[in-house]
């Protein structure tokens, strides 16, 4: 893993426009080097602010800074691979998608996890600055909520395009620019369609358990996967499911709508898995570990099919190996 500090001097920051947009990115990739210092999961202050934001006071505040990763810090890349860009949920640091990123990298992908500055509880920059969630301080009302989320999604789309530009310029020997996908959780998942509309280089996208806020009208034929909780995203079951239904009718190409029985929102990320290991009750009937296994397997199947051209039976019908997954559509419900 290599940590990148990127500065987009062409645009002001989305939330604090007194300076240029700065981003921190965790880049994971295959390497020949199996041993060495492991990449830090997050800093002690990032751990503290994340636990405080979740109102968890029963654990040591630096606990997540002591979480072990599998990534060798600064190891040189090998080969040339497809690129997957990952976008975390609102307020969540990029570290919370590390498990998914490591799994994809271990199967032959370059994976860029983007920290969307001022939308995370804490972002640490190389010079020691730590920015917090300025976007969280904005009061959302019925009158401004649409514009608020539009600003966030448009900003994330611009972030993703800039990250792709930077990676192709500086890491082009390691990345096949003709094979790029994007996946995200929660707000990061909802930003996927926005990013794909803004950047045709993104060939396929995944929304993991995120309400699909706008755009009102769009049309593209690139592959897209919805993956979420059955108690929120079964067609017709909730407002959240309704946002997927609105988008579903406008997706003209390959598409799947999958729900996971017993999962909770945080279960799709490291938050559910690490919380479970720390003895916290995530509230889901399905364990964080099992949800993580399912998430990694279906995300990898999707990018294998649409970036590598390897057909995946797993994406065509329910599997006895993963009975928690149901295939859905607004027309026929779930099976």
Does the structure show a pLDDT above 80 at 123?
yes
Residue 213, pLDDT score: 85
| 214: pLDDT strictly greater than 80 | no
If you count them, how many residues does the chain have?
Answer: 335
Rg (CA), the chain: 19
Lowest-pLDDT range of 77-86, 175-184, 235-244, 314-323: 235-244
Say if residue 80 is exposed, middle or buried (CB neighbours under 10 Å; 0-12, 13-18, 19+).
Answer: middle
Structure tokens at 16: 């604090």
Q: What is the pLDDT of residues 249-278, one digit of tens each?
A: 999 999 999 999 999 999 999 999 999 999
97-112 average pLDDT score: 98
Q: What is the pTM of this model?
A: 0.97
Confidence of residue 282 (pLDDT cuts 50, 70, 90): confident
How many separate helices (H) and strands (E) can be counted in the chain?
Answer: 8, 12
Query: How many angstroms separate the CA atoms of 147 and 277, rounded?
Result: 38
CA atoms within 13 A on the CB side of 222: 23
To which H or E segment does residue 101 belong? helix 98-106
* Separation CA 90–CA 24 (nearest Å): 15
Contacts of 127 (CB under 8 A, 6+ apart): none
Q: Which of 199, 198, 250, 262 is nearest to 224 (CA)?
A: 250
**Residue 248 clears pLDDT 90, i.e. is over it:** yes
Cα(92)–Cα(96) distance, integer angstroms: 7
Q: Which of 185, 187, 213, 322 is nearest to 261 (CA)?
A: 322
Residue 215 above 80 pLDDT? Answer: no
Q: Which overall architecture, per CATH, does domain 2-225+234-250 show?
A: 3-Layer(aba) Sandwich (3.40)
DSSP 3-state of 5 = strand
- The full 3-state SS of 186-249, as one line of letters, equals CHHHHHHHHHHHHCCCEEEEEEECCCCCCCCCCCECCCEEEEEEHHHHCCCCCHHHHHHHHHHC
CA separation for the pair 52, 49 (Å, rounded): 5
How far is the CA of 307 from the CAs of 81, 170, 283, in angstroms? 10, 21, 35
18 contact partners, CB below 8 Å, separation of at least 6: 12
pLDDT value at 216 more than 80 = no
- Averaged pLDDT of the chain: 96
The pLDDT confidence band at residue 281, using thresholds 50, 70 and 90, is: confident
pLDDT at residue 283 in the model:
82
């Amino acid at each position: 893993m290599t940590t990148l500090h990127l500065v987009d001097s062409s645009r002001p920051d989305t939330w604090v426009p007194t300076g240029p947009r700065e981003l921190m990115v965790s880049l994971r990739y295959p390497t020949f080097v199996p041993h060495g210092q492991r990449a830090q999961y997050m800093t002690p202050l990032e751990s503290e602010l994340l636990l405080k934001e979740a109102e968890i006071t029963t654990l040591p505040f630096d606990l997540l800074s002591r979480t072990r990763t599998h990534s060798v810090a600064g190891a040189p890349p090998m080969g040339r691979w497809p690129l997957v860009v990952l976008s975390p949920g609102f307020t969540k640091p990029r570290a919370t998608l590390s498990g998914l990123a490591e799994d994809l990298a271990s199967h032959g992908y370059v994976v860029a996890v983007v920290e969307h500055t001022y939308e995370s509880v804490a972002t640490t920059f190389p010079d020691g600055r730590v920015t917090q969630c300025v976007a969280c301080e904005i009061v959302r009302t019925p009158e401004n909520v649409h514009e608020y989320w539009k600003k966030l999604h448009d900003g994330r789309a611009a972030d993703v395009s800039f990250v792709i530009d930077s990676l192709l310029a500086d890491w082009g020997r390691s990345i096949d620019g003709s094979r790029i996908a994007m996946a995200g959780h929660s707000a990061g998942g909802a930003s996927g369609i926005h990013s794909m509309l803004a950047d045709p280089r993104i060939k396929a996208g995944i929304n993991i358990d995120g309400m699909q806020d706008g755009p009102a009208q769009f049309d593209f034929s690139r592959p897209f996967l919805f993956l979420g909780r059955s108690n929120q995203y079964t067609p017709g079951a909730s407002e959240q499911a309704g946002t997927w239904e609105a988008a579903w009718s406008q997706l003209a190409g390959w598409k799947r709508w999958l729900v996971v029985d017993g999962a909770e929102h945080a279960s799709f990320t490291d938050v559910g898995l690490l919380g479970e290991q720390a003895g916290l009750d995530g509230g889901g009937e399905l364990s964080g570990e099992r949800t993580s296994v399912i998430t990694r397997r279906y995300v990898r199947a999707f990018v294998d099919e649409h970036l590598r051209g390897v057909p995946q039976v797993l994406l065509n019908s329910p599997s006895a190996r993963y009975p928690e997954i149901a295939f859905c559509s607004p027309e026929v419900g779930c099976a």
